[in-house]
Amino acid sequence: MKTLKIKCPAKINLNLKITGKRDDGFHNIESIMQTINLFDYLTISAENNFKNEIILTGNSNEIPYDEHNLVYKAAKLFLEITKVENQKISIYIEKNIPVAAGLAGGSTDAAGTIFGLNEIFNNPLSENQMHELCSKLGSDLNVCLKGGKILAKGRGEIIEPMPFEEFNLSLIKPLNLGISAKEAYTKYSVKKETQTNDSFENDLEWAVIEDYKELQHIKNKYPKSIMTGSGSTYFIIDDKFENEKDYWTSNNLKSINYGVCIA
């Protein structure tokens, strides 16, 4: 049996601008994204088996451990593309990144799965091929695979590395509020018909903030904070959030110049 532990960083969107609607139903974006030192960890094992089998376990009761999990889909796609056969793939997911938070927790775990399996099976895929697999699975995987400061375009899968800047940041998220990308983009489309965003760095924050008093509370108390992704997490640079009832906070984090990697 071969076993490897993979470190999977969260990302934040320093800004996010929607540039148009696509024929496939997604939106085109331009967003500067940055990986940070908040990590999920994957323990990936592979052993000989009478068929290909993928088994997921983990420490979170907020995610599925079956074919609906992006980690499962990533492992399945890797096995199909590389034609690896007769392997039992076991993946333990240690979740530290909040779920449905705009921090790419699911995406970074999926990117980490592709990276980790590629390492275990002696690198059958080039870096470019890994990026191709990532782009098939979701919008933020390529950013998490590469890491650092990235200009992301298209639906997020077209990436251009930018000069790295180290900075301190903090995160806050309402405990019982997760916002799906589908909800945020739908609300953006509706709101854009009658209004224009002229004050928010993140178009999706502009789209959803009027619907949630928890987000309004954060923005009113910390005017310099910015929502990341489709929310509901906010970050603030060179400052800290107070601990509050019904809010998850993580202070004293840093930007990092790498993506998924061996732990």
Is 97:38 a contact under the CB 8 Å cutoff?
A: yes
Task: List helix spans (H) across the chain.
Answer: 70-82, 105-120, 127-137, 141-146, 181-192, 203-208, 213-221
**Residue with the two structure tokens 């806050």:** 172
21 belongs to the catalytic site: no
The residue from 7, 140, 149, 203 that is catalytic is: 140
Between the two ends of the chain, the Cα-to-Cα distance in Å is 18
Is 207:191 a contact under the CB 8 Å cutoff?
A: yes
For the chain, what is the radius of gyration of the CA atoms?
18
Q: Decide: residue 1, CB within 10 A, 0-12 exposed, 13-18 middle, 19+ buried.
A: exposed
11 belongs to the catalytic site: yes
Catalytic residues: 11, 140
